[in-house]
Amino acid sequence: KRVNKAAEVDAELEEWKKAKQLLKPKDQVELSDAELKEVIAKVLESINPQTPDSLIEFSHAQGEFVPLPPPGNMVIEEKEPEIAEAAPTEEEGEGEQKDDDDVSYVSRADDKHDEEGEGEGEGEGDGEHKAAASKAPAKGGRPRKLTNSFNFSNVLQWVIYDGYIQDYAAQQLEKELERERREKDKAPVGRIKVVKRKTGRAQLSEAVQGRVFEYYRYWDDPSDEYREDEGTLLPLWKFTYDKVKKNTVTDMEWNPYYYDMFAVCFGFLDFMKPIAQGAVCLFTLKNPSYPDYICMTPSGVMCVDTHPKYPYMVVVGLYDGSILVYNVQATCKEPAYRSNNVTNKHRGIVWEVKWVPDMPDGELNFFSVAADGKINNWVLMQNDLAVTTIITLFLAGDASPGPDGTLLRVKGCASCVKMHPKNPIIYLVGTEEGFIYKCSTEYSSMYLLTYNAHQLPVYRIDFNRYNTDIFVSCSADWRIKIWEDDRLEPLFVFDVGDRVGDVKWAPYSSTVFAAVTAGGRVFVFDLNVNKYKPICIQPVVSKRRNKLTRITFNPKLPILIVGDDKGCVTTLKLSPNLRIPCKAPKKQQYLDQWTLQCMKLDKLLSLVREPVKLTLPEDTAGSEDS
């Protein structure tokens, strides 16, 4: 078998050899054997086989074809222009000798120049330094230099100083622009052109005020971390207007549309010292030095209200009982509507005016409360105000006999009114006698409820925004009381030691409220923190001269404005302790601030309220069985 295999292998090999026979092309030259054996030498020559030979060109000079010399073997790939050389000097002669030693060459040139420089005897320090362009190609042909002339060829102390001063000034300018840009970005008032604003003065004032703007926006009292239950108020600006310096600030209201704008009424409260004129000024935080809009009035202004939808419609009530409606967008000089001085006016001081939702026809209307005991509803007709008396407040006492024997019902005198925020037909009226009446617009002769609130005139009633059953009232009898709807007894009573001019709930918290007193102090209470004492008592104006009359919270920013009886409005910033937000309990992280605040208030109230009804739980484990 082995033999067979070997034979097979041989056979395959032969077959393979045959297959590998060289293939002859059909046109192969047939050579004889002798020629096949000839050795052909391979030689390398420098002749370019591709150069064209015997080139001919027609020469016009000679009028015939002349042969051209054969082209050379050099092909130029890249050519760069040469740099002009200086006239050959002795130095260059030396330079060529020491071509590779650039360093010493250059330094020698320096020496030469230094000598020249010193010879001239000018300049300080190192003298002049020249590096001529001629040296460039000597260094191996790197022609990448250019004599660039920049105009700073002198270094002297004053040059340096001037340079720094210029640069510093440029930097300051940059910073100013940055700050302005940042202010513009961070305080967008979203100005739809409803009210025409004057901005030139505002910007100047901004630049002047400088720091205070930063405080108002960004500064939070750091010491509040260390004082657990107390807070402070940082005074920011004082707003005044020259012509009404003697007037008392009788009312202030933030504009419902622009959160940096507020209206201030200048009137007077002291019966013995009447002031013949008054004004309503619209100030803005952007320009603390001068009001944006001024409306002078013939008599002291006691109250103001801005329409929530049309922020340029401002209604004011005057000391002499008349009512004016201004369209500040149109003009500040003339009121758009005026109450008729003979028939349509109130007979007493108008204490409060309030816009109410528009009539079904779209006409604007508002309420007014006056010292003559009447609450009127006025509607803005085409050219005039139409008035209807909603209710006449009568005292609860019996009719007492008048001078000619007829029985007259004594009218109560309203000093403040507040619409219920949720229910538009309910409103509370506080009187000079100290009663608070809960009235409805449907019933014009009866009260729904009478609270025996205070002994002296009630100056302000304010509803809590988070729980509208709760309201606070303050009075000249030194007390602030917190009430709940339907309860005749107050929930909380605070005695602050001086006539309380105004009290308001904070818009950001359900348990914080602030009050101002005639002693020039601002009190801030947080019922969640301390149910008996205020968390902040701060004198804002000097005690002897100024009395504080009004206070209002800004709905968006953590600032308060406080008005006093010298025509001055002070802005205060609330420190963080006074505006603690609610922390959501762990299991209910999704709740928003509003709900949290309501919950907080409810928890607080449940502690204070006595349960209305006490019912015995049913005895389910019946004793009959056992």
Partner 1 sequence: MAEGEVKEKAVEEPKKIIHTYPLVRHSDMHEEMRTESMELAVTACEKHSANNEAAARMIKEEMDKKFGPPFHVVVGEGFGFEISYECSNLLYMFFGGNVAILIWKC
- The contact set with partner 1 (CB under 8 A) reads 123-131, 133, 144-148, 150, 152-157, 160-161, 163-165, 167-168
- CA Rg, the chain, in Å? 49
Closest to partner 1 by CB, 164 vs 443, is 164
Q: At closest approach, how far in Å is the CB of 112 from partner 1?
A: 15
Q: At closest approach, how far in Å is the CB of 175 from partner 1?
A: 14
Token digits of residue 414: 């309203």
CB 187 within 8 Å of CB 199: no
Q: At closest approach, how far in Å is the CB of 528 from partner 1?
A: 51
Q: At closest approach, how far in Å is the CB of 150 from partner 1?
A: 5
Token digits of residue 611: 């349960």
Q: At closest approach, how far in Å is the CB of 181 from partner 1?
A: 24
Closest to partner 1 by CB, 92 vs 469, is 92
Closest to partner 1 by CB, 53 vs 115, is 115
CA distance 263 to 280: 7
CA distance 536 to 232: 6
Contacts with 432 (C-beta within 8 Å, 6 or more apart), sequence order = 371, 412, 413, 414, 415, 457, 458
CB 228 within 8 Å of CB 281: no
Q: At closest approach, how far in Å is the CB of 86 from partner 1?
A: 13
Q: At closest approach, how far in Å is the CB of 127 from partner 1?
A: 8
Closest to partner 1 by CB, 160 vs 425, is 160
Closest to partner 1 by CB, 164 vs 594, is 164
CA distance 250 to 569: 11
Q: At closest approach, how far in Å is the CB of 239 from partner 1?
A: 35
Closest to partner 1 by CB, 136 vs 202, is 136
Closest to partner 1 by CB, 163 vs 210, is 163
Stated as kind and residue range, the H or E segment containing 375 is: strand 374-380
Q: How are beta strands 512-517 and 521-526 bridged, if at all?
A: antiparallel
DSSP state, 514? Answer: E
Q: At closest approach, how far in Å is the CB of 90 from partner 1?
A: 22
Closest to partner 1 by CB, 13 vs 155, is 155
- CA-closest candidate to residue 478, choices 521, 429, 526, 418: 521
Phi, psi (deg, nearest 5) at residue 421? -65, -30
Token digits of residue 521: 């102090």
Token digits of residue 70: 């054969």
CA distance 329 to 193: 10
Closest to partner 1 by CB, 127 vs 507, is 127
* Cross-strand bridge partners of residue 510: none
CA 444 to chain centre: 47
Q: At closest approach, how far in Å is the CB of 105 from partner 1?
A: 13
Token digits of residue 426: 């309910």
- CA-closest candidate to residue 255, choices 597, 568, 561: 561
Closest to partner 1 by CB, 127 vs 576, is 127
